[in-house]
Amino acid sequence: MLLDMISKVDIGLISIAVTLLLMALRMPIGIALIAVSIGGIASVLNFRAAWSIANAIPYNFVASWELSAVPMFLLMGYLAARSELTTGLFTSMRILLNRIPGSLATASVAASALFAAASGSSVATSAALARIAVPEMLKARYDKALATGCIAAAGTLGSLIPPSILMVIYGLFTGTSIGALFLAGFIPGILTAFAFGLMITIRVRLRPEIAPKSNETFTRQEKLEAFRDIWPLPTIILGVLGGIFAGAFTPTEAGGIGALLVCVIAVVRRSFSIRMLLEAAKDAAVSTTIMFVIAVGAAMYIRLMGLTGVPEFLADKVLSVSDNTFVILLMISLIFIFLGMFIDSIGIMLLTLPVVMPLLGELGINMVWFGIITIKLLEIGLITPPVGLNVYVVKAALGDKVRLPTIFRGAAWFLLTDLLVLAVLIAFPIISLWLPGMMMK
């Protein structure tokens, strides 16, 4: 009887509240989405319909050919890490950027950008560089907050610099061209890395004690040898992205091509082994399973939102307050940043997209541009307390060497820089849309 007195919109709003509560109680987001979706659909229709949808959606969704890009890009990243293609990357950047104030921190950002482009994962980038770069910076008497904060923040570049797994998932759920998203993320990714490096340089010039000047000198031969350790990653990047941009293969096929390319380079460098391949495949399989459970839950959640009419209801309410695009984006940004304090990136994106997409359609917002804004907001969430995932990844990699509040304090400078870059990307959409416009004419 009680359900008869509650409207479909009320059921949808209650479902959102219950989902957030379950996440706050640390229930895995995929399980929370599935449970709430089944309960919500059963309330709107009946339990038999809910169970039928729960049986149909997982198969139909996971069987999507486009989704195969996710495990392939994950495999590419794990192969690159386990075949030691990233070994020497930080050292090479350190040699090439030696004359810049705060060179070790700036080298960490540059190395993260290159590694991110090969792995497509923020967490993997932060974990890898935390073990390599932070000990070197601490040894050089760098401020602990700067040394760890720059790694946590630079790791987020894995979300924005293509190929990005978040972009693949965003493209699938919104029907947006993944190739266009990859193109659109390139300049904002480079801009973010440059902004991080510029901020480090300015801070070190104002406070030289946080990054003592290096007295190391390198010969021309050492500088030339530094390029030997760098070439695999640019080769992978050019091979994957160049093939997509040239139309040689699709973004879905690019992950497989990238994984094959990593194996070929590993064979050339004599770092390939069957054991390495099996371990990388296992890591990719585990990560893929976790992501697919979340994605299936999100697909069911989208069905629930469609049945309840919540997205249209909220769109009407928001547009009654203001129909200014920038005001709406500000409101959405605040929601993303707030959720980023408590929920992981994929969870935020898949939780909010079903709700905000009708609103974006009403405003006529370009979905490629909004995709880059979304990824940027998710990047910010990765270093926002109290649950900035990348900060915890750095902490886990370092153990007791640095306290958690210290890492958050160091990441705060990069968080402010990220917000500035976000404002620029919102104010000037051409930064994100110019390259897709040029390449897809």
Distance of CA 50 to the CA centre of its chain: 32
Q: What are phi and psi of 360, to 5 degrees?
A: -65, -40
- How confident is the model over 315-346, as pLDDT tens digits? 777 777 777 888 888 888 888 888 777 777 77
Radius of gyration of the chain (CA): 22
Domain that holds residue 397: 3-439
pLDDT band for position 416 (50/70/90)? very high
Sign of CA dihedral 192, 107, 237, 76: negative
Q: Is the pLDDT of residue 3 over 70?
A: no
Q: Confirm if 169 and 159 have CB atoms less than 8 A apart.
A: no
Quick one: pLDDT at residue 413? 94
Residue 439 confidence (pLDDT) above 70: no
Phi-psi region of 72 (alpha: psi -120 to 50; beta: other; left: phi over 0): alpha
Report whether pLDDT(429) > 90: yes
Query: Given 3-state DSSP classes, what are the helix, strand and coil percentages for the chain, each rounded to the nearest 5?
Result: 80, 0, 20
Task: Please give the pLDDT value at position 119.
Answer: 66
Cα–Cα dist 290/294, whole Å: 7
Instruction: Give the CB-side neighbour count of residue 331, counting CA atoms within 13 A.
Output: 16
Who has greater pLDDT, 237 or 87? 237
Burial class (CB in 10 A: 0-12, 13-18, 19+), 409: middle
Distance CA 368, CA 410 (A): 32
Q: How confident is the model at residue 195 (pLDDT cuts 50, 70, 90)?
A: very high
Task: Please report the pLDDT score of residue 121 as a whole number.
Answer: 67
| C-alpha–C-alpha distance, residues 432 and 81, integer Å | 29
Q: For the chain, give the percent of residues with pLDDT over 90.
A: 16
Side chain identity at residue 207, one-letter code: R
59 pLDDT above the threshold of 60: yes
Q: For 134-138, 227-231, 272-276, 403-407, which range has the lowest pLDDT when averaged over its residues?
A: 227-231
Question: What residues contact 361, with CB distance under 8 A and at least 6 apart?
Answer: none
Q: Output the average pLDDT for the chain.
A: 83
The whole-number pLDDT of residue 233 equals: 77
From the CB of residue 65, how many other CB atoms can be counted at a distance below 10 Å? 9
Q: DSSP for 268-308?
A: HTT---HHHHHHHHHHHHHHHHHHHHHHHHHHHHHHHHHHH
Secondary structure (3-state) at 25? coil
Q: How does pLDDT run across 248-261, given as a tens digit for each residue?
A: 888 778 888 888 88
Which are the contacts of 7, defined by CB distance < 8 A and separation ≥ 6?
Answer: none
Residue 421 pLDDT grade (very low, low, confident, very high; cuts 50, 70, 90): very high
pTM value surpassing 0.75: yes
Q: Is the peptide bond before 162 cis (omega within 30 degrees of 0)?
A: no
The structure tokens listed for 197 are 């490096």
Model confidence at 123: pLDDT above 60: yes
The pLDDT, as a whole number, for residue 2 is 43
Q: Which of these ranges, 189-193, 204-208, 358-362, has the smallest mean pLDDT?
A: 358-362
Residue 118: pLDDT over 80: no
Provide the number of structural domains found in the chain: 1
